[in-house]
Structure 1
Amino acid sequence: MNRLQATLLALCLWPALALAQTGQGMGLDLTGEDANKTEEQKPDTTTETPTPAAPPPTAATTKAAPAAPPPSAAEPPADITQEDRVKSVQRKVYLKKGRFEITPEVTFSVNDPYYSKLGATVHAAYYVADSLAVAVRGSAFQVVPSEDVRTAKSVFHGRIFHSVPEWSAMADAEWSPLYGKVAFLNSILHFDGYLLGGLGAVHTETSALPGRGLNVGADVGVGLRFVAKDFLAVNTSLINTSYVDQPLGTSKGALQNVMTINAGISVFFPLRSTGRESE
């Protein structure tokens, strides 16, 4: 009896099971909703994939960087002007080539303790080169006795034979081997040192006597010239003039030396130095 009941029950349930299987095969998806919910609940784990770093350059792929230009080839900065540049060896600012110099001077002797020679001199020069000039110099003298002469005559009744130069005219060559600068009263003065030498004539008190005449003379000296302006300079010199003269009261001639200090103001023409732009 039990087996019969079980068989009947199986026969009754068989269509239902077949229908369920057929419905599933027809596309019924009873789990779709739950799957969608599961997908919604899942967190978004998708992240941007990092870009792999480039491999380090190798010796085969690395190109040599261009070498920097040498300092000498580099161009100077645009804001540096010609006036801002300082030259390690600067050119001469005070140039004399092709210029004329006129110098009035005062003169006084320093080598005669008995008779001083005071006078005035005019010096003119033309510079054939910056350090070489040809010059002429004319001087007029006044001989002034000192107190020693009066003492010798009044006390010792002595007599001093001396030459009395009246004027001289000399032709000289000047060479200027020295050039430099010196600070003076918050200013920079250019200067040059020079040597001179030449020949000429000296007129003395005895030159007017019959059979006498001008005495041949020669001079040598040194000097300094301090430039105040392009056209103006202070000129100082020490010059020794030698000549042979036979003073009054004696029949013997002797070598005479007149060493003088000369100081004056030099004026140059043209008035402007052509080397000023190099300062």
Structure 2
Amino acid sequence: MRYVLLVLLSLVPGLALAQAEALENPGTVSAVQDRLYRLNHELTLGVGALPADAFYKGYFAALGYTYHFSDSFAWQVGRGAYSYNVDTGLRRQLERDFGVAPTANAFEDEVQWMVGSDVVWSPFYGKTAFLNSRVLHFEAFVLAGATVFKLNRDNGFRPAANIGLGLRLFTSQHLSFRLDVTNNVLFAGASRIVNVPTLQLATAFNFGATE
């Protein structure tokens, strides 16, 4: 009994110290700050490029409308773009030095215009300091949908499945800038599949949402 009492007495100071520390530091509390900017009706005006084809490069102007159901999910109801195409040096060399006709099959997949629709998921939202002088708010998103392309061949309407990534930088409640990088898997017919990547930088106008 004597030894038991000695052990219990030696433990009392330690228990008292642990209780005091628990009262001083009850635990770590984490808080997630709500986002400052929200979106509702979004109108986008953009410019972009079709950089992948070896025989031409396309430069397009784009218009789109997106409805945001929540902070995370949205439907890009409609988007459309018209492309101005420029021949590459490789195509000019083939036509000049080897007499390849402009109507050759290799040249018949130029995109003239495109329209489509996408589902948008925005799982990431954050803010960062720029040069310790300004706080920048941004979000990252993924999108997936469908596109119809008009090619330069006769009746050249072709469907495509679209998937991509995007980044948005907010400047105010009503204005933001977004970068979209997508790839369209175009079904060109005759069991032939063509990848049509797009790069687009757009100004987005937001209506109907509050901070």
TM-score range, shorter chain: 0.7 to 0.9
Residue 184 of structure 1 is matched in structure 2 by 130
Residue 166 of structure 2 is matched in structure 1 by 223
Equivalent positions of 1:205-244 (< 5 A) are 205-208=152-155, 214-244=157-187
Show CA shifts across 1:195-225 (max 9, x none). 00101311122243xxxx6322221110000
Show CA shifts across 1:66-116 (max 9, x none). xxxx88xxxxxxxxxxxxxxx8432211222xx100110001012123210
Contact kept? 2:37, 2:172, Cα under 8 Å: no
Identify which of 60, 85, 95 aligns with 1:153: 95
Q: Does 1:167 align with 2:109?
A: no
Identify which of 89, 95, 104 aligns with 2:45: 104
Higher relative contact order (CA 8 A, sep 6+): 2
Cα RMSD (Å) = 2.3
Secondary structure at the counterpart of residue 118 of structure 1: strand
AA matched with 2:93: T
Q: Does 1:125 align with 2:63?
A: no
Secondary structure at the counterpart of residue 153 of structure 2: helix
Contact kept? 1:207, 1:215, Cα under 8 Å: no
Secondary structure at the counterpart of residue 130 of structure 1: coil
AA matched with 1:259: P
Identify which of 68, 89, 98 aligns with 2:32: 89
Equivalent positions of 1:41-60 (< 5 A) are none
Whole-Å Cα distance in 2 between the matches of residues 258 and 199 of structure 1?
13
AA matched with 2:43: I
Whole-Å Cα distance in 2 between the matches of residues 166 and 113 of structure 1?
16
AA matched with 2:199: I
Which structure has the larger Rg? Answer: 1
Q: Does 1:116 align with 2:54?
A: no
AA matched with 2:206: F
AA matched with 1:138: G
Unaligned runs of 5+ in 2: 1-22, 25-29
C-alpha displacement of 1:165: 1.6
AA matched with 2:45: P
C-alpha displacement of 1:257: 2.0
Residue 6 of structure 2 is matched in structure 1 by none
Contact kept? 2:147, 2:160, Cα under 8 Å: yes
AA matched with 1:180: G
Secondary structure at the counterpart of residue 206 of structure 1: coil
Percent of paired sites with the same residue:
26
AA matched with 2:116: M
Unaligned runs of 5+ in 1: 1-69, 72-86, 247-251, 275-279
| Greater strand content | 2
Q: Does 1:142 align with 2:84?
A: yes
Q: Does 1:202 align with 2:140?
A: no
Aligned length: 179
Residue 273 of structure 1 is matched in structure 2 by 210
AA matched with 1:89: V
Whole-Å Cα distance in 2 between the matches of residues 202 and 123 of structure 1?
16
Secondary structure at the counterpart of residue 151 of structure 1: helix
